[in-house]
Amino acid sequence: MSGTHVGSPIAARVRHVEALLEHRGLLDDGEIDRRIDEFLAGGSPANGARVTARAWVDPGFAERLLADANGAIRELGLSMSGGLQEQRLKVVANTEAEHNVVVCTLCSCYPIALLGPSPGWYKSEAYRSRVVRDPRGVLREFGLQLPGTTRISVWDASAESRYMVLPRRPAGTERLGEEELAGLVTRKGLIGTAAV
């Protein structure tokens, strides 16, 4: 019941359905809570950083990641299922001509498995509403000044679909190994509110 107030009518209905499923033997006692805990424990920005670093050093992986992100991340032992229904992941690549940024305008849908728990600003109404209307201004507030010729694409996550940005590989990193490259990647870079 993460994100639901325990005393709310919705929480009571959720708990009732959970109890019915447990009573009928379709779920073990506490199974939903255990799976949510496991999912949250495994989620980390380090996962998204690993995916990014692999894409930077392996063009074939990068191609598969952009075509079928769910399939590609399985190659690294990662998943968007979290033990429950798998969410569709789309990875969008930053280029010299285009910069991508992710938002969820309705709530705070976010690829927890790859980025860890979402930051407070991502959930804020100010970010959710303003980044769609004025992405360049919002990115400037994050300290990211993009050239006027760079197109900005805003990707709106939903309950079924999540997005992750594949940042541009920084210049001068040709000699770095995959692990060192992963150390350069930040959660803000994976959301698109910062460059790497």
Which amino acid, 43? G
| pLDDT for the residue numbered 117 | 87
43-191: what fold? Answer: Nitrile Hydratase; Chain A (3.90.330)
d(CA 19, CA 13): 10
Helix axes 59-67, 45-57, angle to 10 degrees: 120
Percentage, residues of the chain above pLDDT 70: 88
Measured on CA atoms in the order 104, 183, 153, 72, is the torsion positive or negative?
A: negative
Cα 35 from chain centre: 19
Nearest by Cα to 163 from 121, 106, 102: 102
Q: Which residues are catalytic?
A: 104, 107-109
d(CA 192, CA 100): 6
Q: Per-residue pLDDT for 1 more than 50?
A: no
Write the pLDDT tens digit of every residue in 79-104: 998 555 788 999 999 999 999 999 99
Write the pLDDT tens digit of every residue in 132-166: 999 999 999 999 999 999 999 999 999 889 999 99
**H or E stretch at 101:** strand 98-103
Domain residue extents for the chain: 9-40, 43-191
Return the structure tokens found at 102.
Answer: 């992710």
| pLDDT for the residue numbered 178 | 97
> Helix, strand, coil proportions of the chain in percent (round to 5)?
45, 10, 40
φ/ψ bin of 3: left (φ > 0), alpha (ψ from -120 to 50), beta (otherwise): left
Measured on CA atoms in the order 69, 31, 11, 123, is the torsion positive or negative?
A: negative
